[in-house]
């Protein structure tokens, strides 16, 4: 049986009935309240909105606010049959729990229909990290003589040197850079700020980008700010911040030019490589947790498994009795 592609899953969602007005109001009311209550990141809120809208459109009787446990179970079972992954269904269940838990606390429901629903078992997926040599080849792939190439090289250098998430990199404002102190001010998940040190190599490329590439891409004009008045650090030829999708396409293009296995390249590949290589060179978990901006040390500990797996592979290749 072949796996269901994302395009096929999107087509099945589009085939569902349109969203009812009552459901749309209930979902948006929850999203606004959840943002104020939890400070969740925009990507999390967008994911919750999509998941709740999908459930509301699937229901052919009654609105989403009146769903019971059997209805939720039926929807999860339908998604599993249609090909949604356990990880996707686990995220959906998180959205449903947040939605109905909030309605229960607000006195809008007398019960929580998600109370006894078990999340699907998730395989423990280790991040795919590039080797140090592969990282070097990827960093050297952009043609830095052109403004776009210099920008791409600088973005790759920063992502690897600082362990940034893709969203943190593309949303980094120009005023988040302090070259004199050699740090970046990063706003991570949940709106939490952290300071990340810049290495000499990354700082050198950033200085080159600010002196040459950014003015060229902006055409000598000021870069417009966002709703908070903050201008993006990394821009395209239209003076706009790069999207995550645009940067991902850029990474894939440069990885292909560097002859790197496509299966090892992901939007967070350089972040994973940053963490793994630091551990391989003796960094401690607490320091790595602060650099990555993880709220829990257990999230950081997965990188110890990556490093251990690499050591096992090294032993298997080179030890005479492996």
The reported pLDDT for the residue numbered 205 is 96
- Residue 94 has a CB neighbour count (10 Å cut-off) of 16
272 is known as an active-site residue = no
Q: Which of 79, 165, 214, 277 is catalytic?
A: 165
CATH number of the domain that residue 215 is part of:
1.10.443.10
Tracing tokens 């950033």 back to the chain, one arrives at 206
Whole-number pLDDT of residue 322? 47
Vertex 245, ends 240 and 250: CA angle to 5°? Answer: 85
Is residue 122 over pLDDT 70?
no
**Is it the case that residue 238 has pLDDT exceeding 50?**
yes
Q: Are residues 203 and 289 in the same domain?
A: yes
Q: Is residue 231 part of a domain?
A: yes
Q: How many helices (H) and strands (E) does the chain have?
A: 15, 3
- Please check whether residues 301 and 198 belong to one and the same domain: yes
Residues 207 and 284 in one domain: yes
Residues 304 and 264 in one domain: yes
Q: What is the pLDDT of residue 303?
A: 63
- How confident is the model at residue 1, as a pLDDT? 42
205 within a domain of the structure (yes/no) = yes
78 and 19 in a common domain: yes
* Same domain, residue pair 194 and 250: yes
- pLDDT of 37 > 50? The answer is yes
**Set 214, 271, 272, 277: catalytic member:** 271
Domain membership flag for residue 127: no
DSSP per-residue letters across 80-106: HHHT--HHHHHHHHHHHHHHHHHHHHT
| Residue 307: inside a domain | yes
Asked if residue 261 lies in contact with residue 187, where contact means CB atoms within 8 angstroms, the answer is no
271 is catalytic: yes
Q: Is residue 178 part of a domain?
A: yes
CA distances from 148 to 151, 221, 246, 256 (A): 5, 17, 12, 17
Which of 54-63, 162-171, 232-241 is the least confident region?
A: 54-63
74 and 138 part of one domain? no
Q: How many domains does the chain have?
A: 2
pLDDT digits (tens, 9 = 90+) for 158-194: 988 888 888 889 999 999 999 988 888 888 777 778 8
Spatial separation of the C-alpha atoms in residues 193 and 213, rounded to whole Å: 27
Same domain? For 101 and 137 the reply is no
- In a shared domain, residues 155 and 258: yes
Active site residue 49: no
CATH of residue 31:
1.10.150.130
Residue 113 covered by a domain: no
pLDDT of residue 28: 95
Domain-located, residue 66: yes
Q: How many CB atoms lie within 10 A of CB 313?
A: 11
Q: Which domain holds residue 68?
A: 6-105
pTM exceeding 0.75: no
| Token output for 51 | 């998941």
Q: Is 151 a catalytic residue?
A: no
Counting residues of the chain whose pLDDT is more than 70, the rounded percentage is 82
- Regarding whether 92 and 226 lie in a shared domain, the answer is no
pLDDT tens profile 88-100: 888 899 999 999 9
User: In this structure, how many other beta carbons lie within 10 angstroms of the beta carbon of residue 71?
Assistant: 17
Average pLDDT, stretch 212-224? 92
Do both 54 and 176 map to the same domain?
no
DSSP states along 124-151: -PPP----HHHHHHHHH-S-TTSHHHHH
What's the rounded mean pLDDT across residues 6-15? Answer: 68
| Residues 172 and 271 occupy one common structural domain | yes
Last residue of a domain, one of 70, 105, 140: 105
| 163 within a domain of the structure (yes/no) | yes
Domain boundary (54, 88, 105) is at: 105
Nearest to 198 by CA among 209, 214, 212, 213: 209
Higher pLDDT, 123 or 288: 288
Secondary structure E strands in the chain: 177-178, 183-187, 193-197
Cβ-based neighbour number of residue 233 at 10 Å: 26
Confidence of residue 209 (pLDDT cuts 50, 70, 90): very high
Residues 214 and 195: their CA atoms lie apart, in Å, by: 23
């Amino acid at each position: 049986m072949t796996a269901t592609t994302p395009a096929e899953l999107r087509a099945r969602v589009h085939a569902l009935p349109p969203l009812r007005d009552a459901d749309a109001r209930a979902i948006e009311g929850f999203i606004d309240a959840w943002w104020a209550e939890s400070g969740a990141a925009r990507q999390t809120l967008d994911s919750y909105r999509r998941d709740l809208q999908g459930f509301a459109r699937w229901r052919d009787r009654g609105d989403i606010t009146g769903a019971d446990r059997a209805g939720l179970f039926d929807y999860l079972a339908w998604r599993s049959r249609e090909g949604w992954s356990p990880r996707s269904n686990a995220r959906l269940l998180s959205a449903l729990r947040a939605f109905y838990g909030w309605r229960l606390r607000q006195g809008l429901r007398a019960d929580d229909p998600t109370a006894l629903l078990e999340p699907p078992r998730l395989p423990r997926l280790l991040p795919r990290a590039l080797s140090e040599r592969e990282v070097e080849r990827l960093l050297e792939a952009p043609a830095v003589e052109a403004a776009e190439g210099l920008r791409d090289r600088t973005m790759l250098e920063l992502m690897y040197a600082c362990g940034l998430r893709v969203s943190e990199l593309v949303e980094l404002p120009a005023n988040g850079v302090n070259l004199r102190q050699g740090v970046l001010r990063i706003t991570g998940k949940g709106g939490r700020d952290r300071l990340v040190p810049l290495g000499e190599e990354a700082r050198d490329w950033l200085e080159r980008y600010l002196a040459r590439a950014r003015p060229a891409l902006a055409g000598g004009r000021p870069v417009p700010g966002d709703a908070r008045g903050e201008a993006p650090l990394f821009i395209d030829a239209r003076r706009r911040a790069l999207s995550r999708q645009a940067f991902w396409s850029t990474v894939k293009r440069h990885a292909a030019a560097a002859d790197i296995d496509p299966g090892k390249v992901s939007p967070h590949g350089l972040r994973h490589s940053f963490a793994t290589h630091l551990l391989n060179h003796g960094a401690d978990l607490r320091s790595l947790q602060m650099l990555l901006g993880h709220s829990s040390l257990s999230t950081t500990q997965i990188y110890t498994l990556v490093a251990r797996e690499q050591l096992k592979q090294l032993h298997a290749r080179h030890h005479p009795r492996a």
